[in-house]
Structure 1
Amino acid sequence: MSRLRIISRLLFCLSWLFPAGVQSQGVEMPYDTALISSVLAKAGDARDDEAIQLYNTAIQAAEKCLSGGGSKALVKAVKRKLIKARLGLGLVHYNRLEYAVSMELFRLALREAEASGDKLLVAECYFYIAEVYLEQSQFGNSMEYYRLSLSGYEKLNDDSGQFWCLAGMGIVQKLRGNYKDAVELYNKALLKARNTGMTYEEAICHNNLGNVHRKTGDFAKAMESYEKAIEVFRKINDVAAVSDCLNNIGNLYSDNHNPFRALEYYSQSLKMAQNLNDEYRLIIRYKNMAGAYTELKDYENAGLFLEDALRLAEKSGDKSFLGSCNMLFGKLHIVKNDFIIASAFFRKSVNLFEEIGAMPELAEALTELSYTLINLNSVREAIEMADKAMKIAAATGSLKGRLDASLCLAACYEKAGNSDKAYTCLKSAAALKDSIYTAEKYRTIEEIEAGFARSELKKENEALSQNSLLQKQAIRTKNIILLLLGISLLLGIALIWLIYKRKNEAKRETGVIRRQSEEIGRLSEDLSAKERELTAKTIFINQKNQLLEKLIGELDELKKTDVSEASVQHLQVQLKQELAPNAWKEFEVQFNEVHPGFQARLIRNYPDLTPAERRLCSFIRLDMNTREVSSLTGQSIKSIEVARTRIRKKLGVPHEQNLTNFIALI
């Protein structure tokens, strides 16, 4: 302790030994309630040894004040301060895991509170006694005192006290495996907090409900409860509580054997704890990170985080954390088969738990040490450690501790070659196992159904259950993989068949297209030949008609000579009669071969057209002009133009539309 703290403590002691108004004549002044209240206030802010010293000072001051007598009101006030001091001192020992000392102080405070008739302090004492029983796993006694405390708070209409009693009872039921009752109690506490506007307590209730749902394997409800708690904690900006919720969500994923997701939430929670510089929470976070990395078989990172947790535990001086960290280190080295180093860590944890009187943890550490000594062939010492663990577990009433110790003793005697004693220990373990299952049947059933697996299994039957679960999961995974492979194979075969079928269809379609292309090419060539023939025929007819017209003209000249006019005229008539019909007959045959169905469509769609008009439409279809048509038909140009006008009218072609284009589309 620094000189500054020593001087401040001396001044503080002088302040209550010689309060204001003390005279130098040596007249001793009585203690007053204000002085005791001041000491209690300082004790509430102090820690560990300093707090113990201050509470003892307040107790001594109150007892001395009561011995001096005084008014009834003064005596009542001092007695109340005395009870408060005893409760405060009991809480310090409680936090130091010194449960026997704290229980003695709480019971003494209870007797004084009952004697004074202070119902509020009586209910408070009941609550603290219930808390001690809870930590000692004496669930029946704990529930009894929680109910007494709850009854007292209900008579006083103390909502806050009722809430904490209901929350404590919920914890008891959760630890006993009565999850349905735990949920019911937490819901009552939640309703109490909600109706009285206790926002912080409401969030705590959601967080605890999440832990219960996590234990029962209802991960959806657990996550929902955690999120509700986080929402409230974030609203009131309680970063530490948010960090706790994230840590619990990480535990949820860790319990569900998803260490990757667990690490995500542990990392978020760890970051918040680091920003708060909250070393208490950092120890827990580092331990959880180490556990997740151990499950991932990343022993290097697991060791690093355990070292950080151990360093902070040593700095804080919390021997409970130190013992836990050393035990985790021992288990980590057992995984690596480093039994010598593991035994050293287990010995440290044994010494620490023994020093603080943490009997359940001490029994666990002794059992772990005994298993390590078996592997080091130190059988005699292993038997001593296991036997000591058995006695401690029996004294604390821990069935699980007795079971672990019995199994360990069986292994020790088997190693020593004493099969009779090994058999006796195994029989005892079997009986204990049945007792545990009977006492915690609901929790065991729910946990098995939810697929939970404990990370620190020591009991042989739990290890077998774990292996069975893993084998079932492996078989299920294998079946799923085989099913997926089968489906993939079928899909692959179907795909190959479709590709093969599509390829054959494509070949057939290619052949058909090729044959069609060849046929189209042949028809195109025939059509081209017909068109060339038709064009040649048309030119020939045109040339013949021109020749005939020339001859007719020459005959007109002959009529002016001595040749008989009647003979020449007769010849002209015969030539004109042969001019157009003969030309059309030859033309019609060729035209129908090149443009089949054209004349039939004209007759069907436009029955009013005359044969001469249909003939003219054929010439227009060939894109012949009026002069060329006149030459072929022997009609005058004017007659052709008049005929075109009649055709336009019968076809219903507007004047602004091209007649040739219209006829080409028929």
Structure 2
Amino acid sequence: MKKLLLLCFLLGSASQWIVSQNKVDSLMQQLKSEKETNKKIQLYIDLCRAHIAHDYETSKLYAQRAAALAKEVDNTFGLAQSYSCEGSLYNYYQQYIPAICILEKAIALYGDNQFLEEVGYDNLQLANSYKNIGNYATGLERAFKANDIYKKLNNQNGLRRVSNLLGSLYRYLGNYDKSIYYYSKSLEISELQDYQPGMAAALNNWGLVHKLQGNNELALEYYARSGAIEKMLGDKHGIGIYYNNVGIIHLESNRLDSAFVYFKYALALREETGDEKGKANVYDNLGDYYQKIGNLKKAEEYYIRCIELAKKLHLVRLESVAYKSLTETYEKNENYKAAFSAHKRFKQLSDSLFNYNKALEYMQLEMQHQKKEDLALSELKTQRERFIYFIVIGLFLILFMVFMIMIQKQRSRSIYQKLRAAELEKKQKKINQALERKNKELVSFSMNIAQHHELCLSVINKLETTIGSLKKDNKPIIQNIINEIKSDLNHSSWEEFEVRFLQVHQSFYDNLMSQFPSLSQNEKRLCAFLRLDMSTKEISSITGQTPHTINVARTRLRKKLNLANTDVALNDFLISY
């Protein structure tokens, strides 16, 4: 049965290759007979795309030929397309810095208001590149640009892809609420389109978020839903991802036998589909498994396999992780010489990752410098053309002088407006910094309240424990002390917090109560904490209430604020008051 499945897979792969080769042959035939330059450019770009997945050098050659030809005939759109295609190639082979540089050039050539489909796609590619080098802020910026374009075009496929990417970016940033929000949007669009691969991807990513939040059982539930779709589709790559993810949870939960089985299934599928990157990841996981069961020789073997494959594929981050694990294995085996050598390599790779991001910064600076030089050359060329033009039409010299004076005045006005805007921005920045400082002081004061509550509660507990052993005459005195401390807990700390809060946010309560007059005192207090962007855990520490009680209060508050059936976060809503 296994041989039959393997044969079917090989036949399927072969048929795909034949279709691909037929397409390449057809494009080559058209290229030989084509005389029009602009059509040749498009054929070169199509050939570049056709070779991306299996021939790096040939694909790059066709992209460069398209670019050279586009420059010759001043075809800006063709040049932008050739850059976009080359960027796709670099992304496919995980060369993210060259991908970023060339895609930035492509977007600059397309312009802001033209070719929106192409600009949206390249922004999506850029966001993915920035995500993979760890520059999540810029990745978000590019992803939201793509999102705006796809909304304008009502492109549901683009919105589905960009929502999934936004979910991943927020996941890496640790903002799990927003991560789930965007994964759910991607899932919703996939369900509307009945696009099964999109549903599987969104559910799998949702599972990753639950795993990061420590909810392994819920993560397994989402993995299972994703895996069921992949199995229905017969997508062996997706099934391999499912088995690997489930294996990791079983490994972390010390269900070692089942973890090993899942990793073996994942490895078999990745070997069958030729997924080299996936194989490297499974090797690393198998190394972790063998280290956990104490088979250090096997752990060493799989870590070395992972390192060799990661090095071949230029997966620097994975190679670095594997070297770190290999160091621990050698140390446990008391092979300190090998451990020192592995740790040294781990440090080299860590440094190279740091330098990788620095190289991107330098390349970006170089691109900015090049843009300035191009702009300066363009301005110089314009000035020369104007000079020649005004010599030829000397009769209009006086008009030209008046025109230049008007331009100078406009420039002066523009400079003044920019300076004024900069000054206002500086003032606003100072105000914002002061407000942020005050908010931090409020949060710090709130934590002091929590510590004060904990201390008082500790004293009350000790007094209540010992009151039974005291003389009858002393018991009322101690009880009065306990009552006074409890009274202080209920009133004075909150009153002092409220005074400090209103010093920073003077009109918060007035604005809030004018719109929602039915809010109780406790709900007003909860609003104040949420206005400071405090988490449920922090509010629980301050008020002495359980997180469950806080969550119930938040739900009731959402109803009172008319947010029950919306996706609007409470802290985002309250920040406007």
> What is the TM-score with the length of structure 1 in the denominator?
0.47
Distance in structure 1 (CA, Å) of the matches to 2:261 and 2:314:
29
Equivalent residue for 1:543?
Answer: none
Equivalent residue for 1:317?
Answer: 274
Letter in 2 for 1:84: D
**Preserved contact between residue 324 and residue 346 of structure 2 (Cα < 8 Å):** yes
Letter in 2 for 1:89: H
Kindly state the Cα deviation for residue 262 of structure 1 after the two structures are TM-superposed. Answer: 1.3
1:88 to 47, 50, 65: 50
Distance in structure 2 (CA, Å) of the matches to 1:51 and 1:381:
49
1:289 to 246, 256, 260: 246
1:111 to 65, 68, 81: 68
Cα shift readout 1:317-368 (whole Å, capped 9, x = no counterpart): 2222122211211112222222111112223333434555555544544554
**Is 2:114 the counterpart of 1:152?**
no
**Is 2:255 the counterpart of 1:298?**
yes
Cα shift readout 1:598-657 (whole Å, capped 9, x = no counterpart): xxxxxxxxxxxxxxxxxxxxxxxxxxxxxxxxxxxxxxxxxxxxxxxxxxxxxxxxxxxx
**Is 2:354 the counterpart of 1:399?**
yes
**Preserved contact between residue 190 and residue 196 of structure 2 (Cα < 8 Å):** yes
Cα shift readout 1:465-484 (whole Å, capped 9, x = no counterpart): xxxxxxxxxxxxxx9xx99x
Cα shift readout 1:104-160 (whole Å, capped 9, x = no counterpart): 554344334434655444223212333455567765544332222223334793222
**Preserved contact between residue 293 and residue 302 of structure 1 (Cα < 8 Å):** yes
Letter in 2 for 1:308: Y
Letter in 1 for 2:49: L
Equivalent residue for 1:258?
Answer: 215
**Preserved contact between residue 284 and residue 306 of structure 2 (Cα < 8 Å):** yes
Distance in structure 2 (CA, Å) of the matches to 1:392 and 1:216:
23
Equivalent residue for 2:419?
Answer: none
Residues 1:398 and 1:131: Cα distance change in structure 2 (over 3 Å): farther
2:195 to 238, 241, 244: 238
**Preserved contact between residue 203 and residue 223 of structure 2 (Cα < 8 Å):** yes
**Preserved contact between residue 38 and residue 70 of structure 2 (Cα < 8 Å):** no
Letter in 2 for 1:198: N
Distance in structure 1 (CA, Å) of the matches to 2:246 and 2:281:
14
Letter in 2 for 1:252: V
Residues 1:339 and 1:122: Cα distance change in structure 2 (over 3 Å): same
Kindly state the Cα deviation for residue 103 of structure 1 after the two structures are TM-superposed. Answer: 4.5
5+ long unaligned stretches in structure 2 = 363-450, 469-577
Residues 1:151 and 1:120: Cα distance change in structure 2 (over 3 Å): same
**Is 2:35 the counterpart of 1:72?**
yes
Kindly state the Cα deviation for residue 236 of structure 1 after the two structures are TM-superposed. Answer: 0.8
Structure with bigger RCO (C-alpha 8 Å, 6+ apart) = 1
5+ long unaligned stretches in structure 1 = 10-41, 94-98, 402-431, 440-478, 497-666
Residues 1:487 and 1:317: Cα distance change in structure 2 (over 3 Å): farther
Equivalent residue for 1:342?
Answer: 299
Residues 1:249 and 1:79: Cα distance change in structure 2 (over 3 Å): closer
**Preserved contact between residue 343 and residue 372 of structure 1 (Cα < 8 Å):** yes
Letter in 2 for 1:195: K
Residues 1:108 and 1:344: Cα distance change in structure 2 (over 3 Å): farther
Kindly state the Cα deviation for residue 285 of structure 1 after the two structures are TM-superposed. Answer: 1.4
Equivalent residue for 1:125?
Answer: 82
Equivalent residue for 1:218?
Answer: 175
SS state of the match for residue 271, structure 1? helix
Equivalent residue for 1:333?
Answer: 290
**Is 2:159 the counterpart of 1:202?**
yes
SS state of the match for residue 214, structure 2? coil
**Is 2:233 the counterpart of 1:276?**
yes
**Preserved contact between residue 41 and residue 78 of structure 2 (Cα < 8 Å):** no
**Preserved contact between residue 47 and residue 59 of structure 2 (Cα < 8 Å):** no
Distance in structure 1 (CA, Å) of the matches to 2:98 and 2:21:
30
Equivalent residue for 1:509?
Answer: none
Largest Rg, 1 or 2: 1
SS state of the match for residue 72, structure 1? coil
Cα shift readout 1:420-479 (whole Å, capped 9, x = no counterpart): xxxxxxxxxxxx9xx99x99xxxxxxxxxxxxxxxxxxxxxxxxxxxxxxxxxxxxxxx9
Equivalent residue for 2:118?
Answer: 161
Letter in 2 for 1:188: K
SS state of the match for residue 340, structure 1? helix
**RMSD in angstroms over aligned alpha carbons?**
4.5
Kindly state the Cα deviation for residue 245 of structure 1 after the two structures are TM-superposed. Answer: 0.9
**Preserved contact between residue 62 and residue 79 of structure 1 (Cα < 8 Å):** no
Residues 1:57 and 1:382: Cα distance change in structure 2 (over 3 Å): farther
**Preserved contact between residue 346 and residue 369 of structure 1 (Cα < 8 Å):** yes
